């Protein structure tokens, strides 16, 4: 059954929510590689929602919904910001972007998770990781 956690736009609150999610992952005996992938992707997604989506606005919240099962984890993160176009994020590995500090989180989430999809507004990401 999915678990829903609503937190303020606060990085400490995000870390608490991440710890609870990772406890569920540990309880399902995920591999070390899958656990690392989930930890990295959730951290990046929550940071992006708070920093870029809600812009640290204390009046806005971030919703984390996760369904951790023995075979796969489904994680959805939603912020209340204006959204963005994930296809427009520059490739951080291109020579002209190597010195820029943006775009790496999206790239890492896509690299480590089995599926990453954004809603049409760009303020919600849904990620899936299989336990392999």
Q: Structural domain boundaries of the chain?
A: 3-130
With tokens 């609150």, the residue in question is 13
How confident is the model at residue 90, as a pLDDT?
67
> DSSP H helical segments within the chain, as ranges?
11-27, 32-48, 104-112
Average the pLDDT over each of 15-19, 101-105, 107-111, 117-121 and give the range with the smallest value. Answer: 101-105
The Cα 100–Cα 119 span in angstroms is 26
Q: Classify domain 3-130 by CATH number.
A: 3.30.565.10
Does the pLDDT at position 98 exceed 70?
A: no
- CA quadruple 67, 83, 58, 60: dihedral sign: negative
Q: What is the mean pLDDT of residues 101-112?
A: 84
CA distance 96 to 93: 8
């Amino acid at each position: 059954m999915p678990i829903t956690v609503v937190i303020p736009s606060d990085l400490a609150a995000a870390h608490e929510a991440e710890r609870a999610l990772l406890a569920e992952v540990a309880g399902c005996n995920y591999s070390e590689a899958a656990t690392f992938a989930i930890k990295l992707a959730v951290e990046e997604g929550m940071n992006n929602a708070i920093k870029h989506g809600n812009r640290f606005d204390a009046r806005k919240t971030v919703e984390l919904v996760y369904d951790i099962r023995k075979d796969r984890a489904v994680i959805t993160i939603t912020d209340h910001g204006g959204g963005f176009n994930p296809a427009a994020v520059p490739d951080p590995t291109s020579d002209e972007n190597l010195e820029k500090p943006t775009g790496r989180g999206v790239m890492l989430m896509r690299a480590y998770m089995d599926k990453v999809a954004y809603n049409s507004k760009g303020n919600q990401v849904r990620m899936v990781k299989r336990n392999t």
